[in-house]
Amino acid sequence: MKLLFTALAFALAVAATPSWAKNDACEAQAAEKKLAGAAKTSFLKKCEADAAAAGSTSCEAQATEKKLAGAAKTSFLKKCESDAAPAGSAACEAQATEKKLAGAARTSFVKKCVADAK
């Protein structure tokens, strides 16, 4: 029961993350192309990396729009990009759930997945 509650809480937290929609879009594109196995994994990795790169550009655009420069711009970009990072973590958590990983195997998988995403 405790595991179910934790999973539900995680699902609700992920649903509240706006960048999660990008992952759903990638999943939808993969389904539309009827990809499976390694081809799907490769496609999703590239799609999510492209989405993350777009997020980075978005941070640059926001900094320019706010007319930030120097240390203020650097600080803003660092925070903006770190705020976008949990989306990768959520995607990795979702993959671990899909693979039905638990315990140390799950922790190891998520850690490697997040590192590979960066």
pLDDT, residue 18, reads 42
| 112 CB burial (10 A radius; 0-12, 13-18, 19+) | exposed
Segment 90-107, tens digit of pLDDT: 778 888 889 999 999 988
Amino acid at 73: K
Residue ranges of alpha helices (H) inside 1-118 are: 2-15, 20-32, 37-65, 70-84, 86-98, 103-117
For the whole model, what pTM was predicted? 0.35
CA–CA separation, 59 and 57 (whole Å): 5
Residue ranges covered by each domain of the chain: 2-52+85-117
Least confident of 1-5, 46-50, 85-89, 103-107: 1-5
Q: What percentage of the chain reaches a pLDDT higher than 70?
A: 69
